Structure 1
Amino acid sequence: MKIISLFSGAGGMDLGFIEAGFDVVWANDFDLDACTTYKTNIQDHITHGDITKISSKKIIYDIFEGDFSKFVKAEILKQNNNITLEDLSDNDIEYEKAKIDVIIGGFPCQGFSVANTKRSIEDKRNFLYKEMLRIINDFKPKYFVAENVKGILSLHKGKVFELIQEDFKEIGYKNLKAKLLNSADYGVPQQRERVIIIGNKINKPITFPKQSHIHHDKYEGKGKKHITAKDVLEELYHIDTVERNTDKRIKLKTKDIHNHIAYTNVESKFWGRKHKVDQAEICDYLKEWRNKKGISTKKVDEHFGYAHTAGHWFRKDNKSGSIPKPSDWCELKKLLGFCDKYDKQVTEFVEKEIKFEQSLRIANWDRPSDTITASTPEIHPNKHRRLSVRECARIQTFPDDFIFKGSLSSQHRQVGNAVPPVLATQIAKEIKKNL
């Protein structure tokens, strides 16, 4: 049973479907480190790149390793023996020959998240699901599975989700269901709520996995209790982490443990700007002075020894610009000769209390962990460090021999963005029954 995987990340969902007996024939992600991780642990059939710039005909070309005879209409090949991919239109290609059974993907969810108070129907990231829609429409798999945060259900009072459902129904997936699943109920040691959308066009009932684990407070002796953080982390509790950004590993009994690296910042305070700063106003101000001086952003970069950094100080789209750190501000002032107007706002810092709950939470120990996110993880119960990448990966149910690549922050991002493989396996088994 063949799968195309979109927005694959490090491969959590893919790993679950492979465990259930599926064969991933093509995958894609925009994150280079995630692709490297995927290739290291799964297969090298993942394509790194922007899905909006990858055509369906390129995907089928990759699947058949460039053998046009396997997917191009015979009459087209007779007309041109030296045909190239660019010569072909979608009408020249027989996508059904790829025999894709399922297309899976967790399309980017930042725009949908309930944690993002500025989420909007206009957020471009909200519409990357349409790329998934496009590829599903071309390959026409029997099933599709999409994963997203629960905020997708409430965005614009549910109107966005209604539009998404209508889009899938219009391309033939009228048999469609969505369900909010908590990973802890399915054997994952983590309270992680995600919406799973399943559609098929083979007129089979859509079923979700049955809950297998029960909250401790509701447990009445039947089934299994939720798996706790302690259950999966206790044996690493007293084992020192290794230096970050290395491939060093530790020996645990008879196996090697990779990625046991962690942040050591557990303070509840940070240094922040003393005065309110209007980022757009300062970007415009710096841009005005750079123009007066007649210096290009490239020259500014060369002066500071940066690569594509200074340009953010003068962004035309100043909403996405950035403000120089104090030392860069002082040097920039010498270079451009601007006045003292914004010196206090940019250079004066004070110690502030951290207000973001995520930065302060201590990892749960006697119950499932809180949601593993793509940012800085929770503080370890020993309070000396944050959870390591490996500890987060265990909470996400990645096997210990699954090796994450990239910097420490990149590895945490890959782990936090993933679908727990154990949950993905159970979803895959339900689909496999109907196939």
Structure 2
Amino acid sequence: MKIVSLFSGAGGMDLGFIKAGHEIIWANDIYEKAIETYRNNIGDHIINADIKDISSEQIPDCDMIIGGFPCQGFSVANINRSTEDERNKLYLEMFRIVNEKKPKYFVAENVKGILSLAKGKVKEMIMSDFESAGYNVTCNLVNAAKYGVPQLRERVFFIGVRKDLNESIEFPPPTHEEPPSHLLFGLKKWVTIGEALRDIPEPEEAPHIPNHEYTKYKLRFNGYLGHREIDPDRPAPTITARGDNKGGVVIIHHPKNHRRLSVREAAIIQSFPMDFVFAGSKTDGYRQIGNAVPPLLAFNLAKCFPVYKNTVKS
């Protein structure tokens, strides 16, 4: 299937869809280091421009649009969606492009907190907007650990299917579960952070491993994200980062709790392959990884959609 990717970042979601047999024909972001990473690892079809400056005519026809619009687009105190409100513009841009391009399908990803904004009214608004544009929309809260990602990462996916297709797309059932419940459901046990990093040598011992460098920021153990002791026998807490290139990032501890994760180790926890190299500084790498959709999670979702060859929307 031919896919357009918005807010692509380093390409985590795109990589998962490509692995499932789909083709990304156009992508967009404004974070220069993420764009460099994308071009080096995935392809030259990514455009470095503000989505607000791109008309739908500049975007090729496609079968699907995917993207994780930044959640800064919504305020609990203001859900009136005024086009003059800067906080709302990025969501409105994704809606604009889907509404004007009318692909067969769309997938929009966001943080779990969007479900509770304004007591659920933001979620209802999003679904209503896309319904009015001609789509049947489902909303799915999923935990990446249930799909083999060594991380307790909960994310929301809005899946839209154009109404005239008379189809439905369901998020795939989990492949992994917390032990010993995995035995009850006949699933694999979830992958722990200790297992995921078991064979990764210390950075000082492996200078040949790309991006295997880490912040020397002093460890603290106070229970807050980035300062909590890590249990090696469970999936990692959420790998997170700010949505833009300002301020610091949050890097969790290594499962041995003797230092923070390296950029490469954070990428492994996000299910990026070892040969996927991130451009820029350590901070750039951490941020790109924290903002990404885990490729393995995206791959499981992508398998739910039909794989068309050499087609565009009809």
Tell me, yes or no, whether TM beats 0.5.
yes
For residue 138 of structure 2, the aligned residue among 157, 177, 184 is 177
Deviation at 1:432, TM superposition (A): 2.0
Q: 1:20 to 1:381 in 2, by over 3 A?
A: closer
Work out the CA distance in 2 between the residues paired with 1:197 and 1:158: 14
Partner of 2:82: none
2:207 corresponds, among 231, 250, 263, to: 250
Number of paired residues? 294
Task: Please state whether the residue corresponding to 1:133 is helix, strand or coil.
Answer: helix
Shift of 1:433: 6.6
8 Å CA contact 1:179–1:196 kept in 2: the answer is: yes
Structure 1 position 127, deviation (Å) = 3.9
TM value normalised by structure 2: 0.88
Which one has more relative contact order, counting CA pairs under 8 Å at least 6 apart? 2
1:111–1:139 CA distance, 2 compared to 1 (3 A): closer
Report if the CA contact (8 A) 1:266-1:384 is conserved.
Answer: no
Structure number with greater Rg is 1
Pairs within 5 Å for 1:273-312: none
Root-mean-square deviation (Å): 2.1
Partner secondary structure for residue 220 of structure 1: helix
1:152-201 per-position Cα deviation (integer Å, ceiling 9, x unaligned): 1110011111111111111111x110110000001111100000110111
1:355 deviates by 6.5
CA distance in 2, matches of 1:356, 1:225: 26
Which of 269, 280, 290 is residue 395 of structure 1 equivalent to? 269
**Compared CA separation, residues 21 and 357, structure 1 to 2 (3 A):** same
- Match 2:252 to one of 364, 378, 392: 378
Aligned twin of 1:324: none
CA offsets, 1:296-352, max 9 Å, x none?
A: xxxxxxxxxxxxxxxxxxxxxxxxxxxxxxxxxxxxxxxxxxxxxxxxxxxxxxxxx
Mapped pair 1:239 → 2:202: yes
* SS state at 2:213 partner: coil
For the residues of structure 1 that align with 2:204 and 2:166, how far apart are their CA atoms?
51
Q: In the alignment, is the contact (CA less than 8 A) between 2:223 and 2:229 conserved in 1?
A: no
How far 1:241 sits from its partner (Å)?
Answer: 4.3
* Regions of 4+ moved over 3 Å: 118-127, 381-384
Paired residue type of 1:408: K
TM, length-normalised to structure 1: 0.64
Query: How many Å separate the matches in 2 of 1:14 and 1:189?
Result: 19
Deviation at 1:385, TM superposition (A): 2.1
Q: Which ranges in structure 2 are unaligned for 5 or more consecutive residues? A: 80-84, 242-248, 310-314
User: In the alignment, what sits opposite 1:211?
Assistant: 174
Alpha-carbon separation, structure 2, partners of 1:187 and 1:141: 30
- Report sequence identity in percent: 51
Rounded to whole Å, the distance in 1 between the matches of 2:307 and 2:36 is 32
Q: Please list every run of 5 or more consecutive structure 1 residues that lacks an aligned counterpart in the other structure.
A: 61-97, 113-117, 243-248, 252-256, 269-353
**Post-superposition shift, 1:358?**
1.6
